[in-house]
Each structure stands twice: as C-alpha cells, then as structure tokens.
Amino acid sequence: MVFAGGDATLQVEVADTASSRAEGLMGVESLGVDEGMAFVFGTLDDGTFWMKNTLIPLSIAFVGDDDRIVTILEMSPCETDTCPQFASDAPYVLAVEANAGWFERKGIEVGDTAELVRTDD
C-alpha cells in the first residue's frame, strides 16, 4: 500500500475473499512496524468491522472508489461475544488495517490517497 502520493508505504497481506476478510487479523499476536492487512472488495461496500478475537489494537482506513481515504478509526481488541462495530463515514472499496496509531504517525489523513500496489514477491 502506498499512501499520500508515496509518502508512506505499508506492506500488507491481501484479504480478497469472503473467508479471508472474515478472518482478518484474528489471533495475530503482533505486526511489524509497517505491516498490515488490506481488505479488498469488488464493489462499494458499507459493512462494519469488528475486533472479535483480535489481540492487538489496530487503526483502520476506509478507502473510497476514488482512491481517497474516507474514514480513519482506532480499534481496540475484543475477546468477548459482544464487540463494538466500526463503520466508515462513506461507502468504500478497500479497508486497510495497521498497528494502532500508524496512520497518525505517518501523517495520513482523511482525503489522502491510498493505492494498493501488488508485487510478485
């Protein structure tokens, strides 16, 4: 993932199937400093995210079909059956999770661009 015109890069695992998006980062005990997960949807979506069985605090950025970030939220781990839901302010085609505070530390804000750049390695 490249953000804000190339100013920040995040190495992501891609979740582009229903099952991989449902599992997300559940059970993951740590992420590298500049690592995360990209949830890729084929069309505009407005579903919510939650942190059920997610062990680490995360930030999430929702990206619209114009490659602009529409929402950034901070999410806390949840190991109970009732977990908060996290919703975007607008429909999105991509959601990106990183370590808590990553977007703020990198100076990434709503309105900045985000591009998923796939590599062969």
Residues 76, 80, 86: CA angle, nearest 5 degrees: 40
Per-residue pLDDT tens for 35-51? Answer: 999 999 989 999 999 99
Q: What is the per-residue pLDDT for 6?
A: 67
| pLDDT, tens digit, 9 for 90 and up, residues 8-20 | 999 999 999 999 9
Give residue 5's pLDDT.
65
Q: What is the DSSP string of 19-32?
A: HHHHHTTTT-----
Spans of the chain below 70 pLDDT: 5-6, 120-121
What pLDDT does residue 2 have?
87
Q: What letter represents residue 23's amino acid?
A: E
What CATH number does the domain located at 2-115 have? 2.60.120.1140
CB under 8 Å to 27, separation ≥6 — which residues? 53, 54, 55
Residue 120 pLDDT? 64
Domain-wise residue ranges, the chain: 2-115
